[in-house]
Structure 1
Amino acid sequence: MPWRFVPLGLIVLVLILGYVLGWHEHVTLSALIDSRAALQAKIEAHPLLSAVGLIMGYAFATAIAFPAAALLTIAAGFLFGWLVGGTLVIIGATAGATALFLAARTAFGTLLRKRVGGRAAEFAKGFEEGAFGYLLVLRLAPIFPFWLVNIVPAFFRVPLRIFVAATTLGIIPATYAYAYLGQGLESALLSASAAGRQVELHDLITRELTLSLGGLAVVAALALIIKRRVAEASHTPNEGR
């Protein structure tokens, strides 16, 4: 087995192992609510260690593409507050996303670039030239899975610094929004209790929030389109010269 596949292979292996062991069954909103007192006590006793643990845990979950990003971000806001929790999530998510990006690029990036041609090659060139803008739009848009946006740039010549910068900036709005929802989880619990039911994740993640994040992606996409049009116009010679 070529060495370049080892990092990505380990990530896939850990993800499969996690599903086999049922890790996803323990990462639920009800589990967070049930254990909130114990978690908050540990954070108060060891604030720095808890913060580092959150960063490492989120980075690990992101690197193996574990499908619980929204819930983990809400938990961070619930336990640490929206500002601190959101900031810790941004650090961990960027680190984990970068690890997956590098693993995918090591495994497949060079091989696919050698085989691509025709219109696909033209698309690849366009993506690479405007990598920051494209990645920023993909990060802002809530319709694309986070793990997918970590892998796709690995198939192009996207510099690591561009990937890290676009990822960090692009996830800020959604991260702080979800962390803020987590900070208000207590009031949601009280409302649900008064209504005689348990609070669900959809009670926190509203359609309005999703549309707002989608609006940010549209604004970023429009800015990217306008920038490209201006650049094309500046390189087009005037008629009659």
Structure 2
Amino acid sequence: MTQNSSRFRRWLPLILIIAGAIAGGIYLREYLTFESLRENREALLAYRAAHPFWAPAIFMLAYIVIVAFSLPGASAATLTGGFLFGVFPGVVFNVVAATLGAVAIFLAVRTGLGQGLKDRIDASDGAVRRLTDGITANEVPVLLSMRLVPVVPFFIANLIPAFLGVATWRFAWTTLVGIIPGGLVYTWVGSGLGEVFARGEAPNLGIIFEPYILGPILGLAALSLLPIVLKFLRRA
């Protein structure tokens, strides 16, 4: 196998992700919205009732594609999971699909860019190297806190670990665990969409920033960072 062929195969997953993201953003944007869910809710409910096995499978596959290609509409997809399947098992479908999609883009980015970038970082010195060394030394707490704190965009939280060479299994389980609180909140909001539709209103996606919800999530994030704090105190 030639060097150019090997390089192309390494970059192919990332190229497909980028091409899919561009195409999806252009052609699917109008379908991945709350308004589209509102307009098609009866058809979706009818399909779920008629196909109890295929409906969850197709939903999860669609969610995986949305996350893997970083398409707009992840929030609408999470609401749809709650609307169609309730808080449970809707939250399971949402969290598992989001995790699988995140792993897909993580692997694509790491295969195409991650190792080369990590090698350059390892060979460097200065602030960037110190920052990456600090993150690497505290991978699990940092990964969990990035998922738990809603101010970190989901897409960015998929890229940073890929650039730093985080192990796939560690990325996967911290993603799965870390997105459960936020996923549960949005699935719960989605489960009540029937009443929202009946009133002609839109769901309150800002509910996750309400103190009674954001407070416990930030508490979990702080708890995840406790090992770093204790390590710092021991060194002091």
TM-score between the two structures when normalised by the length of structure 1: 0.86
| Structure 2, unpaired ranges of 5+ | none
- What amino acid does structure 2 have at the position aligned with 1:37? E
Cα distance in structure 1, aligned partners of 2:135 and 2:194: 43
**Residue in structure 1 matched with residue 209 of structure 2 by the alignment:** 210
Q: 1:5 to 1:182 in 2, by over 3 A?
A: same
Alignment pair present for 1:68 and 2:68 = no
**Equivalences for 1:35-114 in 2 at 5 Å?**
35-114=40-119
Are 1:62 and 1:93, in contact at CA under 8 Å, matched by a contact in 2? yes
Are 1:138 and 1:217, in contact at CA under 8 Å, matched by a contact in 2? no
- What amino acid does structure 2 have at the position aligned with 1:79? L
CA RMSD for the aligned pairs? 1.8
Moved over 6 A (4+): none
- What amino acid does structure 1 have at the position aligned with 2:133? K
Following TM superposition, by how much is the alpha carbon of 1:62 offset from its aligned partner in structure 2, in angstroms?
Answer: 0.3
Are 2:30 and 2:36, in contact at CA under 8 Å, matched by a contact in 1? no
Cα distance in structure 2, aligned partners of 1:47 and 1:75: 15
Q: 1:131 to 1:123 in 2, by over 3 A?
A: same
Sequence identity, in percent? 30
Cα distance in structure 2, aligned partners of 1:223 and 1:28: 34
Q: For the pair shown, which has the larger CA radius of gyration, 1 or 2?
A: 1
Cα distance in structure 1, aligned partners of 2:208 and 2:232: 35
SS of residue in 2 equivalent to 1:50? helix
Specify which of 18, 24, 27 is matched with residue 18 of structure 1: 24
How many residue pairs were aligned?
226
Following TM superposition, by how much is the alpha carbon of 1:143 offset from its aligned partner in structure 2, in angstroms?
Answer: 1.6
**Residue in structure 2 matched with residue 196 of structure 1 by the alignment:** none
**CA deviations over 1:199-241 (Å, ceiling 9, x no partner):** 22xx4213x42245543453244334442232244456xxxxx
SS of residue in 1 equivalent to 2:165? coil
Are 2:144 and 2:224, in contact at CA under 8 Å, matched by a contact in 1? no
Cα distance in structure 1, aligned partners of 2:199 and 2:45: 21
**Residue in structure 2 matched with residue 125 of structure 1 by the alignment:** 133
**Residue in structure 2 matched with residue 172 of structure 1 by the alignment:** 180
| Structure 1, unpaired ranges of 5+ | 193-198, 237-241
